[in-house]
Amino acid sequence: PRRLACAQLAKRLRLAARRLTDTATDAGRAEFDACVREGDHQILAWLKFAKLEGTATAADFAALRQATASSTAILLAADLAGSEPAARLPAACTAHLAAMLEEMATMLDTGGYPVEVAVDVRDLPRASTLPPLAALVLADLRAALEGFAVPPSEAAPPAPVDPAPAHSGFFNADAFTNP
C-alpha cells in the first residue's frame, strides 16, 4: 500500500508540473481533471493500510499524510494557474517549479519522500511584480512545496479549564444522575 500511495503522489506531482508548464496533452488534461475530482481518499486509505501492516512507521505515515495534503494544494494551485489568465505565472518560474516537482516525484517513485524542500526565491519573481491572483498562486505553491512532507507539529495541550463554579440553585449537583 505504501508503494501505491507514493506512486499516486508522484503521478499527482507530474500532472501538476505539466499543467503548470502547459505541456499536457488532451489526455493529460483529462487525467489531471480526474485526479483533482477523485481527491485524496484512496491515498489516505492506502497509507492507513501501510501503517496497519507495518510497512510505514508512524513518522512516515505522518509525513506521507502531509505530502498527500500538500499534493492536493499543489494540484489546486496548478489548476488555477493553468485555467485563469490572471493567475498565470511567468514561463521561467513555471519551468523552475515544474523541475522541482519532477525531482520530488522521482524521490517518491524510489520509495522515499522529499524532506526539507527549499524553493530558491532568486528563481522566482517578486510578488509585487505579479498580478494579485498569480502572487497568491505562487505563495500557495511555495508553501505547499516547502511543507510538502513536514507534518504539522503536535498541537500544544489545551490549557487546563477552571472547574465550574459550584451551583447554588434548587437542584443538588447530582440531581440528574441515576443513583
Residue 147: phi and psi, rounded to 5, are -110, 25
- Decide which of 68 and 177 is more confident: 68
Look at residues 15, 134, 1 and name the one whose alpha carbon lies nearest to residue 64: 1
pLDDT in tens, 80-94: 998 898 989 998 899
Q: How far apart are CA 76 and CA 91, in angstroms?
A: 19
- Decide which of 71 and 172 is more confident: 71
- Enter the pTM of the model: 0.80
Over the range 20-48, which residues count as b (16 or more CB within 10 Å of their CB) and which as e? bbeebeeeebebbeebbeeebeebeebbe
Residue 21 has pLDDT above 80, yes or no: yes
Provide, for the chain, the percentages of residues in helix, strand and coil under a 3-state DSSP scheme, each rounded to the nearest 5: 65, 0, 35
Instruction: Give 163's pLDDT tier (boundaries 50, 70, 90).
Output: low
Look at residues 32, 6, 5, 14 and name the one whose alpha carbon lies nearest to residue 101: 14
Q: Residue 112 has what pLDDT? A: 86
Q: How far apart are CA 173 and CA 171, in angstroms?
A: 6
Q: Residue 179 has what pLDDT? A: 62
Other beta carbons within 10 Å of 175: 9
Q: What percent of the chain stands above pLDDT 90?
A: 47
Q: How far apart are CA 141 and CA 59, in angstroms?
A: 24
- Decide which of 125 and 64 is more confident: 64
- Look-up: residue for cell 489526455? 27
Phi-psi region of 161 (alpha: psi -120 to 50; beta: other; left: phi over 0): beta
pLDDT in tens, 113-153: 888 888 887 778 888 888 889 999 999 999 999 989 888 77
Q: How far apart are CA 84 and CA 80, in angstroms?
A: 6
| Least confident interval from 10-14, 84-88, 132-136, 157-161 | 157-161
Residue 159 has pLDDT above 90, yes or no: no
Q: What is the DSSP letter of 169?
A: S
Look at residues 79, 51, 82, 86 and name the one whose alpha carbon lies nearest to residue 65: 51
| C-alpha cell belonging to residue 172 | 443538588
